[in-house]
Amino acid sequence: MTKQQPEGELVIQTLAMPKDTNGHGDIFGGWLISQMDLGAAIFAMKVAKKLVTTVAINEMVFKKPVRVGDGISCYARLIKIGNTSLTLHMEAWSQDFTTHSVMPVAEGVFTFVALDAEKKPIPVLS
């Protein structure tokens, strides 16, 4: 059964453009991961109130192709705060503006580490 609505906080929205297509004419998966990572970083910095960097992307699943012209919305939900890390669940949803349909297209688990000014790991909660 397909989810009816996203979980988490809306962190980024964008539009899938022709320059981002793969050889099949759909949006390249790497572009979608990049959008999800940007949104995840925004959310992680908001939670940590510190600079963060991505250290892992786990359990990435592509559910449906994204087409040129689709609106993409990425949602973040905090799973866990470790000593120096944050783990987030990310969802990407597409919207077809011609049919008004909205559907989940990808999800994954992103892990970030909080950094100090010298870009060394520091406690998230300090």
* Parent domain of 32: 9-115
> Cβ contacts of residue 27 below 8 Å, gap of 6+?
16, 20, 21, 65, 66, 67, 68, 70
- Domain contains 123: no
Low-confidence ranges of the chain (pLDDT < 50): none
Q: What pLDDT, on the 0 to 100 scale, is given for residue 17?
A: 96
Q: Tally the domains of the chain.
A: 1
- Domain contains 77: yes
- Domain contains 120: no
- Domain contains 124: no
> Cβ contacts of residue 36 below 8 Å, gap of 6+?
74, 90, 92, 106, 108, 110
CATH number where 109 lies: 3.10.129.10
Q: What pLDDT, on the 0 to 100 scale, is given for residue 1?
A: 60
- Domain contains 3: no
Predicted model pTM:
0.94
